[in-house]
Amino acid sequence: MAENNTRTPNLLVKFDGIELGSEVKGYEKTWGILYNYTFSEKRKVSGDVSGPLESKAEIQLSNIMLELKHGLQDPVFATHLRSGDPFKNIQIITLINAKGANKVLSTITCENVKIVGRDVMQIIKCDGQDIDNILRLYITCDSMQEEFSKFGQDASAQGKNAAGWNYRTASANG
Per-residue confidence (pLDDT) for residue 129, from 0 to 100: 47
Domain that holds residue 59: 11-83+136-168
Distance from C-alpha of 18 to C-alpha of 15, rounded to nearest angstrom: 5
Predicted confidence at residue 167, as pLDDT, reads 29
* Residues near 17 by beta carbon (within 8 Å), at least 6 away in sequence: 166
pLDDT, residue 94, reads 36
Residue 109 within any structural domain of the chain: no
Predicted pLDDT of residue 120: 34
Predicted pLDDT at 164: 30
Evaluate whether residue 48 is within a structural domain.
yes
Split into its structural domains, the chain has a count of: 1
- Residue 19: closest CA among 62, 60, 55: 55
With respect to residue 113, please indicate whether it lies within any of the assigned structural domains: no
Residue 4 domain flag: no
pLDDT for the residue 54 = 33
The answer to whether residue 75 sits within a structural domain is: yes
Q: What angle do CA 125, 130, 135 make, to 5 degrees?
A: 85
Question: What is the pLDDT at residue 53?
Answer: 31
Domain presence at residue 45: yes
Averaged pLDDT in 10-residue chunks for the chain of 174 residues: 31 34 31 29 32 30 30 32 39 36 39 39 43 39 37 37 30 29
Whether pTM > 0.85 for this model: the answer is no
Q: How many CA atoms lie within 13 A of 87 on its CB side?
A: 28
Could you tell me if residue 106 is inside a domain?
Answer: no
Instruction: Determine, yes or no, domain membership for 174.
Output: no
Residue 5 is predicted with a pLDDT of 30
Nearest Cα residue to 66 out of 137, 125, 124, 8: 137
Contact 170, 10 (CB under 8 A): yes
